[in-house]
Amino acid sequence: MNNPPKSHHYLPRHHLSRFSPNRGKPQVAVYDKQTSHTFTVSVVKTACENHLYTVSTGTDPVKKDSATVENTLGVIDSNGAHCLNSIESIEDIASDKQLNFIVYIASLILRTPYSIQRNIDMIQPIMQESFERALKFDRNLKDNLMGKLSFNEEEYQKLVEEYTSGSMTVIPNREAAMLINLQNIPKIAATLAKYSWVYLTCPDGTEFIACDNPAFICDPRTNQTENVGLAHPSGELTIPISKNICAVGKLSNSFTQEFRNASETEVNEINRRTAIAANRFIYSSEYSEEINKLASDMVGSCPVSKTEDLRTPNGSLVKVASVHYPVSGFKPLL
Q: Tens of pLDDT along 71-94?
A: 999 999 999 999 999 999 999 999
Instruction: Identify whether the C-beta of residue 33 lies closer than 8 Å to the C-beta of residue 278.
Output: yes
Q: Domain residue spans in the chain?
A: 7-120+173-324
Instruction: Identify whether the C-beta of residue 194 lies closer than 8 Å to the C-beta of residue 253.
Output: yes
d(CA 153, CA 167): 19
Instruction: Identify whether the C-beta of residue 308 lies closer than 8 Å to the C-beta of residue 212.
Output: no
Q: Alpha helix (H) ranges present in the chain?
A: 13-17, 68-88, 98-110, 113-137, 139-149, 153-165, 174-183, 185-192, 264-277, 289-297
Q: How does 141-156 read in b/e, with b if 16+ C-beta sit within 10 Å?
A: ebeebeeeeeeeeeeb
The set of residues, in sequence order, having a beta carbon less than 8 Å from that of 26 and lying 6+ positions away, is 13, 16, 17, 20, 42, 43
Cα 190 from chain centroid? Answer: 17
* pLDDT of 4 higher than 70: no
How does pLDDT run across 189-237, given as a tens digit for each residue?
999 999 999 999 999 999 999 999 999 999 998 877 777 889 989 999 9
Q: What is the structure's pLDDT at 1?
A: 45
How does pLDDT run across 22-74, given as a tens digit for each residue?
999 999 999 999 999 999 999 999 999 999 999 988 777 678 899 999 999 99
Residue 49, strand partner residues:
8
Stated pTM of the model: 0.88
How does pLDDT run across 164-186, given as a tens digit for each residue?
887 778 788 899 999 999 999 99
pLDDT bucket at 97, cuts 50 / 70 / 90: very high
The number of beta carbons lying within 10 Å of the beta carbon of residue 166 is: 9
